[in-house]
Amino acid sequence: MKKEDVPQDLGSLGKITKEVCYATDASGKYTTELSNGWQVKTNALDITWDDINQKIAAAKEKVLCNEVSPILFFMEKSVMNIGILSSYTGFFKWQIKRHLKPAVFNKLSTKKLTRYAEVFNVSVDELKTMNVHEE
Amino acid sequence: MRNNFQHAQAAHCESGVTRNLLNIIGVEQMTEPLAFGIGSGLFFVYIPLIKINNGPAIAFRSFPGIIFKKTCQALNIDVTRKKFSSKQKAQEYLDKKLEEGYAVGCQVGVYYLPYFPKEYRFHFNAHNLIVFGKENGKYLVSDPIMEHETTMTEYELERVRFAKGALAPKGQLYFAEKKGAVTNETMQQAIKRGIKRNVVNMLHIPGAIGGVKGIAFTGKKIKNWRNKFGLHKSGLYLAQLVRMQEEIGTGGGGFRYIYGAFLQEAYEYLPVDELMRLSNEFTKAGDLWRDAAVQASGIYKGRLGSQEDFNVMGDYLREIAAIEKKAFEDLSKINWH
C-alpha cells in the first residue's frame, strides 16, 4: 500500500485515536502513516454489532414473555457466552443454565444476584428489571 | 512516581510493547518491524472447529507472547514473566516493580478497557500494554496502539489483568533486563533466526490449516460458505475475517506490510538484494489481502452475493497463498554469505 492510499474514513476508533499503518513512500521505502479508519472494516464491525443487537433484542423479547431470566439479556449485551460468564461469575455452567429459568432466577439470593450484577456493570435492581441507561 | 519511559505508538500491541520495553533498557536500535520479524510474528491459521464470537477462528499472526519471548531470546536479554492466582499479590508485585523503577508489560483483556470505544470491546484477552508509574493512586499506562499515554485506576487495571475466558491473562506481567550490549552481529544473527523460524512456520507446519497451506485451504472453504451457511451467516464470517486482518493492531494487510517493512530494515543489517525484492512481494500480498477485504465487504454489505462472488473471494486467498509460498521459499534459499 502506498502512503497516499492509506484510507482516512473516520470511524468510531478514529474519534478516539488514529492508528498506525505501514505503507511505502514514493521511493518504495516503508514508513508509517496514521489512519482515521477504513470504511471496509467499519462495515465489518457494524454488521457484527447489528447481529449482536438482534440477539440482544431477541433475548429481551424472551425475558418479557417470561421464557427466560434477564441473565440471557445481559449475557448477550456483554457479548458473552455461558462459558465466559461462568469464568467471570465463578458459577458452574450448569448453575447458570438453571439461573436462566425465570422461576429459579426469581428465588436467587441477593448475594448471587450481586455476582451477576458486578460482572454486567449494573445494579441488582437493573439486573432484575433490565432498566439500564445506555451510555 | 513516573519511571523512565517514553510512550510511542505502534501498529501492533505486542511488537510495540516489545520495542518500547527494549528501547528503555538500551536496545535503541529495536523498531516495531524488527521486533515483529525477529519474533517470527507472521502466520496464518484457520481452525474450522473453534468459534470466536460466533465466527471463524482465524489468526494472521503467531501465538500471543511469542514475539516478545523470541525477540528477547535472540538478543540474549533476560525476561521475567509471572502469572498470579491472587489479585492482591498481582497488584503488590506490580507496585513493587514500579517502585524499583521498572516499566512493566501486562497482558490484558480488552473488554473492560476504559479508554477503548464501546464498539471495540470484545472478549479478546491477548492485548498488551505497559505500566510505567503510579500517581495519585492511578497507574500510568502506555497502550501502544493509542496515540497518547493514559491512566487507569487500581480497580480498572485489576479487572483487565484478570479478564476471563480464552487466553485469560491471569495477571500476567513481564519485563526485560539487559545482560550485555546488543552488537550488530547479534542483530544479524537474530534477524536470520527470525526469518528461518518464520519460513518453517509458514511452509512446514504439519496439517492443512496453518501457514500458506492454511490460506489456500481457507480460500477453498470460503467457496462453500454460501451454500453451507447462507448469505447472512457467511457475510458475518467474512466480516470476522476482515476484522482479524485489518483491525487496529495489524498495521494493515494482515501484518504483511509490517513484514515487508521488516525485510527492508533487515537489509540494513544484512545487505542482500533479495531482501528488498522480497519485501515487495509481501507488499503485493498485503495489497491483495486488502483487495480481498473489499470483495468481502461487497458481500457482507449485500452489494454482492452470487456464488461467483464467493469464488472470486476464495480465489484471492489462493492467489495470496501462492505469492507467500514463493516468497518464503525464496527467503529460505537466501545465501547469507
Indicate which CATH number applies to the domain containing B22: 3.90.70.10
Range name among B65-69, B177-181, B319-323 with the lowest pLDDT average: B177-181
- C-alpha B8/C-alpha B17 separation (Å) is 9
Point out the residue among B123, B253, B293 whose CB comes nearest to the CB of A40.
B293
Q: Is the pLDDT of residue A135 over 60?
A: no
Domain endpoint, select from B112, B144, B178: B178
Give the number of other CB atoms < 10 A from CB of residue A52: 17
Residue A133: pLDDT band with limits 50, 70, 90? low
pLDDT (tens digit per residue) in A78-111: 999 999 999 999 999 999 999 999 999 999 999 9
**pTM score > 0.90 for this model?**
yes
Residue A13: pLDDT band with limits 50, 70, 90? confident
CA distance B136 to chain A (A): 24
CA distance A63 to chain B (A): 22
Is B155 in the same domain as B210?
no
Domain endpoint, select from B145, B160, B178: B178
Is B192 in the same domain as B213?
yes
- C-alpha B18/C-alpha B24 separation (Å) is 10
Mutate which: A3, A5, A13, A19, vs B, most B CBs within 10 A: A19
pLDDT (tens digit per residue) in B119-170: 888 999 999 999 999 999 999 999 999 999 999 999 999 999 999 998 999 9
Give the number of other CB atoms < 10 A from CB of residue B184: 9
Residue A134: pLDDT band with limits 50, 70, 90? low
Is B154 in the same domain as B219?
no
- Name which of A119, A16, A33, A8 is nearest B119 in CA terms: A16
Is A81 in the same domain as A53?
yes
Is A46 in the same domain as A30?
no
Is A100 in the same domain as A45?
yes
* Max CA distance (Å), chain B: 62
Task: Say whether B45 sits in a helix, a strand or coil.
Answer: strand
Is A54 in the same domain as A33?
no
Indicate which CATH number applies to the domain containing A121: 1.10.260
**Domain that residue B256 falls in:** 184-333
pLDDT at A70: 97
Is B21 in the same domain as B166?
yes
Residue A16: pLDDT band with limits 50, 70, 90? confident
Q: Is the pLDDT of residue B206 over 70?
A: yes
pLDDT at B282: 98
Q: Do A22 and B247 touch (CB under 8 A)?
A: no
- Name which of B263, B259, B289, B326 is nearest B58 in CA terms: B289
Domain endpoint, select from B113, B145, B178: B178
Place of cell 489483568: B161
Is A57 in the same domain as A92?
yes
Is B144 in the same domain as B194?
no
How many domains does chain A divide into?
A: 2
**Domain that residue A122 falls in:** 41-129
- Name which of A30, A74, A67, A69 is nearest A52 in CA terms: A74
pLDDT at B51: 85
Mutate which: A22, A24, A42, A81, vs B, most B CBs within 10 A: A22
Bridge partners, B107 (sequence order): B128
